[in-house]
């Protein structure tokens, strides 16, 4: 009997360029209501959360139900993981019960361990290093505004070289679009991920947000202090002065430019109220698109 290889979505490069485009196409079809299959019928997704979530939790649970399956919310505080049960043990046990695991946690290595010791697909719902499902939603939003071919789009990232920035680099690595990143000294993205992307796409790094935004089609930012960095909020607020996306800054982007933010947003810090609520903002479409891309990812991996 041939055994199917288990696929995972721990990072964007786990999918080939064509698989990423196919997944985005499937997500768009799901959004248009053209896909009525129930590939998760009789299947269960375990959703492990070691950090807070609104969008990820709700969109994965709703998406699983819409595909005919059942989702289990597991706070890491309530399961034995929180009392020190090793990831490799949990991976083998959960694999006997469920058909896929979505996890939001701190250490990317925990996802690698889950994938290594478990026998079901693992999906990254955010780690300190990466947030690939969010970038898939952002890519779908970009396609909705500029068409399916992403290669000619210029994307600006302004802010922390965090999990979002690293995943943008991974997307540029696979899809080849121009990516400009503006971040202060000390807030660099992951060095290996940056170098890998530089080999495949035009990656521009700068300390000057204005340089990144001028002529960009997509302007994207995120909170200055991510989950787990709350103690650094005051220092970061000082270090990120000048990194707020304003209406004036958006005027220097292309005429067609859109603003994206993964949310939750801190109005008046990384973005003004006027930009977030303004005509260029696509943040609500972007949040909705989490649902569609994650359904496409689950159908691909667990269907």
For the chain, the distance separating the N- and C-terminal CA atoms, rounded to the nearest angstrom, is: 19
> Rounded distance, CA 149 to CA 159, Å?
26
Please tell me which residue in 8, 14, 57, 104 is annotated as part of the active site. 104
The reply to whether 54 sits near ligand CP by the rule CB under 6 A is yes
Residues 126-155 that bind ligand NVA (CB under 6 A): 126, 131
User: What DSSP string runs through 87-128?
Assistant: HHHHHHHHHHH-SEEEEE-S-HHHHHHHHHH-SS-EEES--S
Q: Segment contacting ligand CP (CB under 6 A): 10-18, 50-58, 75-83, 116-124?
A: 50-58
CA 216 to CA 80: how far, in whole Å?
A: 46
User: In the chain, what are the helix, strand and coil shares in percent, each to the nearest 5?
Assistant: 45, 15, 40
Q: How far is the CB of 136 from ligand NVA (least distance, A)?
A: 14
Place of tokens 């707020």: 244
* Active-site annotation holds for 149: no
The verdict on 95 binding ligand NVA (CB under 6 A) reads no
- List Cβ neighbours of 178 (8 Å cut-off, separation of 6 or more): 153, 154, 155, 172, 201, 202, 203, 204
Comparison of 242 and 264: residue with beta carbon closer to ligand CP? 264
Q: Please pick, from the candidates 143, 163, 167, 294, the single residue that binds ligand NVA as defined by CB under 6 A.
A: 163
Sole binder of ligand NVA in the list 48, 262, 298, 299 (CB under 6 A): 262
Tokens read off for 279: 């005509």
Question: Cα(74)–Cα(72) distance, rounded to whole angstroms?
Answer: 6
Q: Judge whether 108 counts as a catalytic residue.
A: no
Q: Which of the stretches 3-11, 48-56, 144-152, 171-179 binds ligand CP when contact is defined by CB under 6 A?
A: 48-56
Rg of the chain taking only CA atoms, in angstroms: 19
The CA-atom distances, in angstroms, between 302 and each of 41, 68, 78, 121, 291 are: 10, 12, 26, 7, 16
Task: Tell whether the torsion through CA atoms of 16, 22, 28 and 29 is positive or negative.
Answer: negative
Nearer to ligand NVA among residue 99 and residue 270 (C-beta): 270
Structure tokens at 76: 């890491």
Query: What binding mask, one character per residue, do residues 86-105 give for ligand CP by CB under 6 A, x or -?
Result: --------------------
Catalytic residue from among 11, 57, 108, 131: 131
**Residue 292 annotated as catalytic:** no
Kindly state whether residue 164 participates in binding ligand NVA, applying the rule CB under 6 A. yes
Nearer to ligand CP, 94 or 265 (CB): 265
Q: Please give the Cα distance from 258 to 278 (Å, whole number).
A: 10
Residue 222's binding partner, choosing from ligand NVA, ligand CP, none, with beta-carbon cut-off 5 to 8 A by kind? ligand NVA
| Binding piece for ligand NVA, criterion CB under 6 A, among 16-24, 85-93, 138-146, 162-170 | 162-170
Residue 94 binds which one of ligand CP, ligand NVA, none, with CB within 5 to 8 A depending on kind? none
Residue 222 catalytic? yes
Chain contacts with ligand CP (rule: CB under 6 A): 53-56, 126, 134, 262-263
Binding residues: 53-56, 80, 104, 131-134, 163, 222, 226-227, 262-263, 290
Chain contacts with ligand NVA (rule: CB under 6 A): 126, 131, 162-164, 222-223, 226-227, 262
Active site residues: 104, 131, 134, 222, 262, 290
């Amino acid at each position: 009997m041939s055994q199917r290889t288990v696929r995972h979505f721990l990072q964007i490069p786990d999918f080939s360029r064509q698989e990423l485009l196919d997944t985005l196409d499937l997500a768009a079809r799901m959004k248009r209501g053209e896909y009525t299959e129930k590939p998760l019928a009789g299947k269960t997704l375990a959703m492990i959360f070691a950090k807070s979530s609104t969008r990820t939790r709700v969109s994965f649970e709703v998406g699983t139900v819409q595909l005919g399956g059942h989702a289990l919310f597991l706070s890491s505080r309530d399961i034995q993981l929180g009392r020190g049960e090793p990831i490799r043990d949990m991976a083998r046990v959960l694999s006997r019960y469920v058909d896929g695991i979505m996890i939001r946690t701190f250490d990317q290595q925990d996802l690698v361990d889950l994938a290594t010791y478990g026998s079901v697909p693992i999906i990254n719902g955010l780690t300190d290093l990466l947030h690939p499902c969010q970038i898939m939603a952002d890519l779908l939003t970009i396609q909705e505004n500029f068409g399916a071919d992403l290669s000619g789009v210029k994307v600006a990232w302004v802010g922390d070289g965090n999990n979002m920035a690293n995943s943008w680099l991974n997307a540029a690595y696979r899809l080849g679009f121009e990516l400009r990143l503006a971040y202060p000294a000390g807030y660099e993205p992951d060095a290996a991920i940056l170098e890998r992307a530089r080999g495949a796409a035009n990656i521009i790094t700068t300390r000057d947000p204005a340089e990144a935004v001028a002529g960009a089609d997509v302007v994207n930012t995120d909170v200055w202090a991510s989950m787990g960095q709350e103690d650094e909020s005051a220092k970061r607020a000082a270090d990120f002065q000048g990194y707020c996306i304003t209406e004036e800054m958006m005027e220097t982007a292309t005429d067609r430019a859109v603003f994206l933010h993964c949310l939750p947003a801190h109005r008046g810090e990384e973005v003004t109220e006027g930009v977030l609520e303004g005509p260029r903002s696509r943040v609500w479409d972007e949040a909705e698109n989490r649902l569609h891309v994650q359904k496409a990812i689950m159908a691909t991996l667990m269907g």
